[in-house]
Amino acid sequence: MAAFFLLCALSIFETSLSEFVADFSINEQGPPGQLIGNIATKSNFLQKANHSSVTYTYLDKTNAYAGLFSITESNGDLTTTTTIDRENIQCKDPQCILTFDVGANFGDFDVITVNVHVIDINDNAPQFPKSLITINISETSSVGHLVQLPSAVDLDTGENNGVQNYEIFPANVTFGLQTKKKLDGSFDVKLVLLENLDREKKAFYTCKIFAKDGGVEQNIGTLQVDINVLDDNDNPPVFGESIYNKTVPENTLPGTTILRVTATDADSGLNGELEYHISQGAYSDIFSINNRTGEILLLKKLVYEPNEIFSFFVEARDKGAIPNYAQVKVNIQIQDAGNNPPVVKVNLVSGSAGKVLISELINIDAFVAHVSVEDSDTGKNGEYVCSISSSFFDIKPLQSKGYKVVVKIPLDREKASEHNVTVSCHDLGTPPLYSSVSFIVQVGDENDNKPVFLQPTYFASIEENNPVGVTVTKVSATDNDIDLNAQIQYVLHSDAGSSFSINRITGVINATGVLDRETTSDYLFRVLAVDGGKEPKTGTATVIVNITDINDNKPKFSKSLFTFEVSELSDPYTHVGRVTAQDPDLGQNAYLQYSMSSQDRNVPFEVSLNGTVITRAELDREYMGQYNFMVYVRDSGNPSLNSSAYVTVYVMDANDNAPRILFPNKMNNTVSSTVTSLPITKIIAEDKDDGINRQLTYFIQTGNDKNMFNLHSQTGELFLNHNYQFTTDQSVSLIICVQDGGLPVKSACTQLNVEVSINNATIADEKPETDNKYIYISIGVIIFTLIISAGIVVVILVIRKKDSERKNNKSSPGPLGVPMQNGYAPTGTSTLSNSHPEAEYMERKKVTLNAGTNREGSLGSSSHNYSSNISQNVSTNGRAHPCDSNSDTSGETIPSDSGRGGSEDDNPSTAHTADDSRSFDFYHSQSMSPSSFISSLPRKDSKPPRPPPCHIPSSSDKRHSAVPFHSAHNMPYSPISYSSHNNSDQWDFVKSPYNSSVHKDYFNLVGGGSLISTNKSREDDDDAATTTSGSYTINPEDLDDDLNYRCSNDFIV
């Protein structure tokens, strides 16, 4: 046990002196699983300790912070396991640094001290202990009087996130606010009285205290303070009359009420309850007074004494702690029974029991009551005068009899609801005798006051997505009128819309629907208080409702697909673009963070928290030209919401690959050729780049000192220079180079050995023609050609006429759906004696022509000369030699008639030399060598022969590299196979398997897509079936009939 404690002590000692310390900072309220950092990297443990395999664990797994953080044992990554709320964890210091030790086990053992600074964010609003308090203040309180208020508490602990100041609303009116910051940072808050109070004018106040913190997004706490103004005994009683005079007959019986005094007190409660007393107990044996009603009673029989008047003071005293009082003088004169006082009687037109009701809006001089006075005495004793006690009324004599009481000044029921009026009359005798009568005037209420709200503006807050019918706030109003005129009903103004309703009686405002802060964040509307008068009056207050935010909206990307471009070879961490999203929520609910899908971690890009897309590694377009991945955006609400979008990044090409020459190469770099205008070979090269970076230019670097060769810069085709005179065989070694169009330019070079041999025709062309016999021969050839041409014209006209008749004849269709002549029948026996299958069909197309050069006899075998075929060699060089512009028949050096309807200058692309062979060449998809076709035509008495299965080259076949021409003349022929591209039609058109992107067709067809064509289109000739100088233009319709009808190996025209 002692050893265990010693080990613990050593561990603590080592921890305190740990060599390795990792300091981290993290904002509170982060999501669980947030990566804080790497302990090993932050503490430089691996660098200092130089250990390759380390396991990281808590040194003490029972420490208070083990539940907050998770340590990846294999690499020391420190992540959060829960949302950290700084206000709920026990920080040992104001900075809230959480310290714990991590054990590093690498065979040996070491300790790393980890300090995590939890940074406070403004996530709590100031909060008062109660949202509503009520205080009482005496109306006699002096200006500057202070009332202690509770202070608000903000759970945040940041420098500016706590409570920073207080405000009062409404400000600078009756009450103010006094705040003082204490040593501990809290505030002492007191309510200050700014002006004198008068409960009799206003008995209730309400205000709001706002506590505001100093965060960037300020939070506010609210305290409602209701203030009752306590009544103080600050108003003395007031008598209705300034002096009371009364004449009492001496024969008045004891116990009779001879006078009533009345007083009022504006205070309330005990401060307004009055008691009456006769001051100093004067004449207590003669008179007494009712303490409650103020009635003065006669206690004993009076005895008249001349000029005797009983004068005393009646005192009215309230029941306040320090009572107030008022005194009034009462004069009671004893009347001799021999002289009678006037008899006064009040006649109330309306009302009864000594009370009359009049409206408070009654006009001046309006009639109130009639007063009749009678005195049976004579002389002065029978004359009398009358007066009235109230200042609001006046008494006026009537011409007929008596007096009338009228209104003297305007009445206000809210100030005095009733008036005690006394009419006194006395005669003019000596002494004068008095008599009086009293009545009460009740002032009836009129709707002359509009309701007044307790607050001009009401503030309320409600969380969005609220339940329907939830209470928002309550309004209250008062009306100084009474009865129906003071019955208030509450109504919302039309500017409140349909979002709120109000209880007409209680003033409670409810939400009628679910409110959405993103649609409307604040509502400002008016509420009306309407009284029940005949002409209702209305009071108005303003209600401001703040809709607080909750996280109810997912972030939304501005696009569903973002596309960016970045150049290959860009440095890592190159800016590619930025994805953007919006969240209509507020605050943390709208704070967005972007990330990449975990399934796309293998792409060489990363997405930062702010949505910026950058590269993680150098890119290679030739390896991958396009990347697709998914990005996510999430807000910081609780719970967090997210959405996703797609990103496509196109890698733009950079010139990072040099051209590669496929031919010639080390294994095959020699070509042989006779003197010809055809290309003797073609340089084959490729470039893995794209666009202009793969546009190749060919040139001869060295070896062409004699200008013996011409190399086409775009196609790489090598020609013999026509201007160079070959007299002997030549063997030349050329250095051929290829360069691309990029910047910087990249190139490659190779060696090509060319062997050129001459033949007899070449030598003959060089001998001067000095003998006139050649002139005669030429003239004979011309005449013969003209005769043959005329015959051809006649034959073609006949054929075309038959073709026209065949097309107009509605017979059954032949192969390919082309209508045939009447003589054609798919079945039956032939009518010709010739047993050859195509005898009858070819009879109408049989033409004898002068054959041209047959490629040094390679095509001159008897197998190609059938009487049923048209033997005519047509040139296949769709591209003329760059230096050749002469006629192919005359041998002249100037343009002459070539028999194609124009001079060579008119159509330079079709020029030929003497050794050109005019045969239609077909190219095999593999060998690219010309092939001849021999037709096999159907018999009339049999069905058309079914073509052999044809083959359409696959995509891999079409991507082959071109095979160079090893010889311009002696190239092997290989059969070509075809297949229908429509499985349902065995008689589809023959399609060339030749890939135009690899080889140029040296015999271009009109329309650009046919396998075979003539030198010119039909529209270019005056007569499409006529030509001269041994040339023959074939009718494309006839040629299509033959070619599209079959798929065979050999066909010579």
Q: Residue 547 in contact with residue 520, Cβ under 8 Å? A: yes
Strand order in the sheet with 681-682: 681-682, 717-720, 709-711
What pLDDT sits at residue 1020? 39
What pLDDT sits at residue 159? 67
Listed residue (446, 444, 528, 442) closest to 486, CA to CA: 446
Per-residue pLDDT tens over the stretch 435-457: 899 999 989 888 889 999 999 99
172-183: average pLDDT: 86
Looking at the chain, the whole-number percentage of residues with pLDDT higher than 90 is 37
Q: Which two tokens stand for residue 873?
A: 């060699």
673-678: average pLDDT: 92
Res. 765 pLDDT band, cuts 50 70 90? low
Res. 850 pLDDT band, cuts 50 70 90? very low
- For tokens 């006064």, what's the residue? 344
| Pairwise pLDDT comparison (193 vs 924), residue with the higher score | 193
Res. 6 pLDDT band, cuts 50 70 90? very low
Cα torsion 78, 84, 89, 95 to 10°: value is: 70
What pLDDT sits at residue 717? 95
Rg (CA), the chain: 62
pLDDT above 80: residue 1053: no
Per-residue pLDDT tens over the stretch 855-897: 333 333 333 333 333 333 333 333 434 334 333 333 333 333 3
How many whole angstroms separate alpha carbon 31 and alpha carbon 634? 11
59-79: average pLDDT: 87
How many whole angstroms separate alpha carbon 400 and alpha carbon 443? 29
Average pLDDT, the chain: 76
Listed residue (255, 316, 265, 321) closest to 288, CA to CA: 255
Element (H, E) at 556: strand 556-557
> What angle separates helix 773-808 from helix 1036-1043, to the nearest 10 degrees?
70
Res. 961 pLDDT band, cuts 50 70 90? very low
Q: Residue 925 in contact with residue 952, Cβ under 8 Å? A: no
- For tokens 């010639």, what's the residue? 664
How many whole angstroms separate alpha carbon 876 and alpha carbon 816? 27
What sign has the CA pseudo-torsion 899, 901, 907, 910?
Answer: negative
pLDDT above 90: residue 512: yes
pTM, two decimals, is 0.36
Per-residue pLDDT tens over the stretch 781-818: 999 999 999 999 999 999 988 888 877 764 444 433 33
Hey, which of 78-82, 525-529, 986-990, 1005-1009 has the most confident mean pLDDT? Answer: 525-529
The alpha carbon of residue 361 and the mean position of all alpha carbons in its chain are separated, in whole angstroms, by 65
Strands 325-335 and 243-249 come out as parallel
Length of the chain: 1053
Per DSSP, helices labelled H in 673-830 are 760-766, 773-808
DSSP state of 54: -
pLDDT above 90: residue 594: yes
Q: Residue 231 in contact with residue 271, Cβ under 8 Å? A: yes
How many whole angstroms separate alpha carbon 351 and alpha carbon 357? 6
How many whole angstroms separate alpha carbon 956 and alpha carbon 962? 13
The alpha carbon of residue 76 and the mean position of all alpha carbons in its chain are separated, in whole angstroms, by 39
What pLDDT sits at residue 18? 56
State the CB neighbour count (10 A cutoff) for residue 291.
12
What pLDDT sits at residue 630? 94
- For tokens 């070694």, what's the residue? 733
How many whole angstroms separate alpha carbon 335 and alpha carbon 431? 8
Task: Report DSSP letters for 149-205, one per residue.
Answer: EPPPB----STTTSEEEEEEES-SSSEEEEEEE-TTS-EEEEEEE-S---TTT--EE
998-1026: average pLDDT: 36
Residue 900, helix vs strand vs coil:
coil
pLDDT above 60: residue 853: no
Q: Which two tokens stand for residue 211?
A: 């506590």
Per-residue pLDDT tens over the stretch 360-412: 889 999 988 888 888 766 678 778 889 998 889 999 998 878 898 999 999 98
pLDDT above 50: residue 958: no
Encode burial over 697-709: b for 16+ CB neighbours within 10 A, e otherwise.
ebbbeebbeeebb
State the CB neighbour count (10 A cutoff) for residue 1014.
23
- For tokens 């019955």, what's the residue? 487
Q: Residue 873 in contact with residue 858, Cβ under 8 Å? A: no
How many whole angstroms separate alpha carbon 610 and alpha carbon 317? 81
Res. 90 pLDDT band, cuts 50 70 90? confident
- For tokens 């307004």, what's the residue? 272
Listed residue (760, 732, 734) closest to 749, CA to CA: 734
Question: Which has the minimum average pLDDT: 116-120, 742-746, 958-962, 1043-1047?
Answer: 958-962
What pLDDT sits at residue 414? 87
Instruction: Please give the C-alpha separations between residue 208 and each of 150, 175, 247, 299, 460, in angstroms, as whole numbers.
Output: 13, 11, 62, 62, 11
| Pairwise pLDDT comparison (952 vs 423), residue with the higher score | 423
Strands 477-478 and 452-453 come out as antiparallel
Encode burial over 113-138: b for 16+ CB neighbours within 10 A, e otherwise.
bbebebebbbbbbbbbeeeeeeeebe
How many whole angstroms separate alpha carbon 673 and alpha carbon 670? 10
Residue 850, helix vs strand vs coil:
coil
116 Rama class: left (phi>0) / alpha (psi -120 to 50) / beta: beta
557, β-bridge pairs? 581
Question: Which has the minimum average pLDDT: 387-391, 632-636, 1004-1008?
Answer: 1004-1008
What pLDDT sits at residue 763? 52
Hey, which of 35-49, 159-173, 223-237, 621-635 has the most confident mean pLDDT? Answer: 621-635
pLDDT above 60: residue 968: no
How many whole angstroms separate alpha carbon 524 and alpha carbon 178? 30
What pLDDT sits at residue 845? 37
Task: Report DSSP letters for 582-632, one per residue.
Answer: E--S-GGGG-EEEEE-GGGTTSSEEE-TTSEEEESS---TTT-SEEEEEEE
| Pairwise pLDDT comparison (104 vs 1017), residue with the higher score | 104
State the CB neighbour count (10 A cutoff) for residue 509.
24
Per-residue pLDDT tens over the stretch 533-558: 888 999 999 999 999 999 989 999 99
| Pairwise pLDDT comparison (82 vs 1015), residue with the higher score | 82
Q: CA geometry: angle at 930 spanning 927 and 936, to 5°? A: 115
Peptide bond before residue 664 is cis, with ω within 30 degrees of 0: yes
What pLDDT sits at residue 655? 86
Strands 642-652 and 561-567 come out as parallel
How many whole angstroms separate alpha carbon 89 and alpha carbon 398? 93
Residues 6+ apart with CB under 8 A from 16: none
What pLDDT sits at residue 771? 53
Q: Which domains does the chain have, with CATH numbers?
A: 15-119 (2.60.40.60), 132-230 (2.60.40.60), 233-338 (2.60.40.60), 341-444 (2.60.40.60), 452-548 (2.60.40.60), 556-652 (2.60.40.60), 660-766 (2.60.40.60), 773-876+917-1053 (no CATH)
Q: Which two tokens stand for residue 402?
A: 């008596």
Res. 778 pLDDT band, cuts 50 70 90? confident
The single-letter code of the amino acid at 226 is D
How many whole angstroms separate alpha carbon 508 and alpha carbon 924? 94
What pLDDT sits at residue 900? 37
Please give the span between the terminal C-alpha atoms of the chain, in angstroms, as a whole number: 113
335-359: average pLDDT: 80
How many whole angstroms separate alpha carbon 684 and alpha carbon 744? 22
Cα diameter, the chain: 197
Residue 738, helix vs strand vs coil:
strand
Q: 502: buried, middle or exposed (CB in 10 Å: 19+, 13-18, 0-12)?
A: buried
945-960: average pLDDT: 39
Hey, which of 12-16, 66-70, 331-335, 468-472 has the most confident mean pLDDT? Answer: 468-472
Encode burial over 16-45: b for 16+ CB neighbours within 10 A, e otherwise.
eebebebebebebbbeeeeebbbbbebbeb
Question: Which has the minimum average pLDDT: 480-484, 713-717, 888-892?
Answer: 888-892
Question: Which has the minimum average pLDDT: 28-37, 75-84, 510-519, 956-965?
Answer: 956-965
Task: Report DSSP letters for 275-290, one per residue.
Answer: EEEEGGGTTTTTEEE-
- SS3 sequence, 924-948? CCCCCCEECEECCCCCCCCCCCCCC
Looking at the chain, the whole-number percentage of residues with pLDDT higher than 70 is 72
Q: Residue 481 in contact with residue 447, Cβ under 8 Å? A: yes
How many whole angstroms separate alpha carbon 884 and alpha carbon 904? 10
pLDDT above 70: residue 1017: no
